[in-house]
Amino acid sequence: MNEFVERKIELQWHEPKRSYDVVIVGGGGHGLATAYYLATRHGITNVAVLERKYIGSGNSGRNTTIIRSNYGIPEAVRFYQRSVELYQNFESETDRWVMHKRKGLLWVAHTEAGVRAERARAEVNTAFGARTEFVTPQQIKEICPQIDLTGGGVWPVLGASYHLDGASARHDRVVWALAEGAMRRGVHVHQRTAVTGLLKDGDRVVGVETERGPIAASLVVSAVGGHVTALAAMAGVRLPIRTHPLQAFVTNHYALAFDQMVASSSLLFYASQTARGEMLIGAEIDRQPSYSYQSGHHFLQSCGFRAMTLLPFLRDLRILRQWTGVCDMSPDYSPIMGESGAPGFYLTTGWGTWGFKAIPAGGEQMAELIATGKTPALIAPFSLNRFAQDRTMADRGSAGTH
């Protein structure tokens, strides 16, 4: 299957009905995946997805499209491994080409502590179902000949964890495949329909107020990204979310193949090559919480310098574009999924800088929660009440942040 033989995507748009069984707020990957899996796995199609701009216009269209499961804690490895597997079957299941490609991900260590961390990552990954092995500098050079093993003479490469299932996919295509799959089965997707309030009956959330009138719902699901705090507040739910900008950039095209993805915890950047040949590079979040989409020169300067330290060939490339997304960061760098505490209101949030890879598993598990009313074991550790119960899922080192 490729773009030349692909069927033309035909979408059915509808006027909003006055009521649905399930209303999902947020037409990004997670919202649409939840609708898709409700329709395909559970036959629940009286569902509306509300998006204030156009689908995939938020962080689903701004991420760096990396799919991986090499996390640092067992619960996260299990969850993201499920997502990696769903992504591997995504094209045959949806009958759409999303440019999914398995590439492998090198997570490079430059210090003794870093080597210990990468060895630990390989161990915990192997124990809980992800394929990751520790590799020596010589093996790194065989996998990725472009790496400067001396790290510019400052950050010598001492080893790396090599995640064999590291992959990437075209983010817009994932969003559109999910939307098309859901809409073909009867789900309504309403673009340019901002939610302005929640309809409540006592504490219970019974619908949403939108720019296009009120919509009643038996269940409202928030799949909102950076702006989730305001929506949750309408339901009376306090969230541990801080919204931070995350920047990324692409260069002009690099003539050689750069087949694997490279990340470094010490140098705080990650790089991969897009299907067009551009080098796609991202780094850490901006330190101050902000909803501003402004990109800045300081990021290009510092991130570009760090990337060139490890990958000197980047010196010959030029930056074409940079952009920013606003991320819903959770304090323990793990997502928040499940019941919110307010009846009739479920959450899938805290996707921060690691949401794209989790789209299929997040959607599948949320759909199961909605259909059965029971929290699936895979996402039970990521409930909102973990903060009150003092069992945070701290995994900052794996956020990385991509």
Partner 1 sequence: MNIQIPCPNCGARPIQEFIYGEIPVVPETLTDADARDLDRAFMRNNVEGVSAERWFHTYGCRRWLTLQRDTRNDQIYAE
Q: What does residue 277 show for φ and ψ, rounded to 5 degrees?
A: 100, -5
Question: Chain centroid to CA 162: how far?
Answer: 20
Shortest distance (Å) from residue 292 CB to partner 1:
5
Residue corresponding to tokens 């300081």: 298
Radius of gyration of the CA atoms of the chain, in A: 21
Give the number of residues in contact with partner 1, rule: CB under 8 A: 26
Shortest distance (Å) from residue 19 CB to partner 1:
29
Q: Stretches 13-21, 141-149, 239-247, 306-314: which one binds partner 1 (CB under 8 A)?
A: 239-247
Angle subtended by helix axes 29-42 and 171-184, to nearest 10: 40
CA atoms within 13 A on the CB side of 183: 20
Shortest distance (Å) from residue 389 CB to partner 1:
10
Contact pattern for partner 1 over residues 50 through 89, marking x by CB under 8 A: ----------------------------------------
- 3-state secondary structure at position 223: coil
By CB under 8 A, the residues from 276 to 315 that bind partner 1 are: 286-292, 294-299
Q: Tell me how far apart the alpha carbons of residues 285 and 399 are, in angstroms, rounded to a whole number.
A: 11
Q: Tell me how far apart the alpha carbons of residues 283 and 309 are, in angstroms, rounded to a whole number.
A: 14
Query: Is 391 a binder of partner 1 (CB under 8 A)?
Result: no
Q: Are 147 and 140 in contact (CB under 8 A)?
A: yes
Nearer to partner 1, 118 or 332 (CB): 332
Q: Stretches 13-21, 189-197, 235-243, 265-273: which one binds partner 1 (CB under 8 A)?
A: 235-243
Nearer to partner 1, 145 or 296 (CB): 296
Shortest distance (Å) from residue 263 CB to partner 1:
23
Nearer to partner 1, 266 or 322 (CB): 322
Query: Is 239 a binder of partner 1 (CB under 8 A)?
Result: yes
Q: Stretches 169-177, 206-214, 222-230, 277-285: which one binds partner 1 (CB under 8 A)?
A: 222-230
Neighbouring CB atoms inside 10 A of 340's CB total 24
Q: Stretches 56-64, 87-95, 149-157, 233-241: which one binds partner 1 (CB under 8 A)?
A: 233-241
By CB under 8 A, the residues from 141 to 180 that bind partner 1 are: none
Shortest distance (Å) from residue 286 CB to partner 1:
7
List all residues 6 or more positions away from 207 whose beta carbon is below 8 Å from its beta carbon.
19, 23, 198, 199, 214, 215, 216, 217, 220
Strand partners of residue 219 = 22
By CB under 8 A, the residues from 370 to 389 that bind partner 1 are: 387-388
Q: Which residues of 38-67 are buried (b: 16+ CB within 10 A; e: fewer)?
A: bbbeeebbbbbbbbbeebbebbbbbbbbbb
- For 389, counting Cβ atoms within 10 Å of its Cβ (0-12 exposed, 13-18 middle, 19+ buried), the class is exposed
Instruction: Choose which of 156, 186, 240, 376 interacts with partner 1 (CB under 8 A).
Output: 240
Query: Is 238 a binder of partner 1 (CB under 8 A)?
Result: yes
Query: Is 245 a binder of partner 1 (CB under 8 A)?
Result: yes
Q: Tell me how far apart the alpha carbons of residues 129 and 102 are, in angstroms, rounded to a whole number.
A: 17
Instruction: Choose which of 85, 139, 242, 284 interacts with partner 1 (CB under 8 A).
Output: 242
Query: Is 229 a binder of partner 1 (CB under 8 A)?
Result: yes
Nearer to partner 1, 14 or 238 (CB): 238
Query: Is 243 a binder of partner 1 (CB under 8 A)?
Result: yes
By CB under 8 A, the residues from 330 to 369 that bind partner 1 are: 331
Nearer to partner 1, 121 or 227 (CB): 227
List all residues 6 or more positions away from 372 whose beta carbon is below 8 Å from its beta carbon.
none
The residues binding partner 1 (CB under 8 A) are 227, 229-230, 238-243, 245, 286-292, 294-299, 331, 387-388
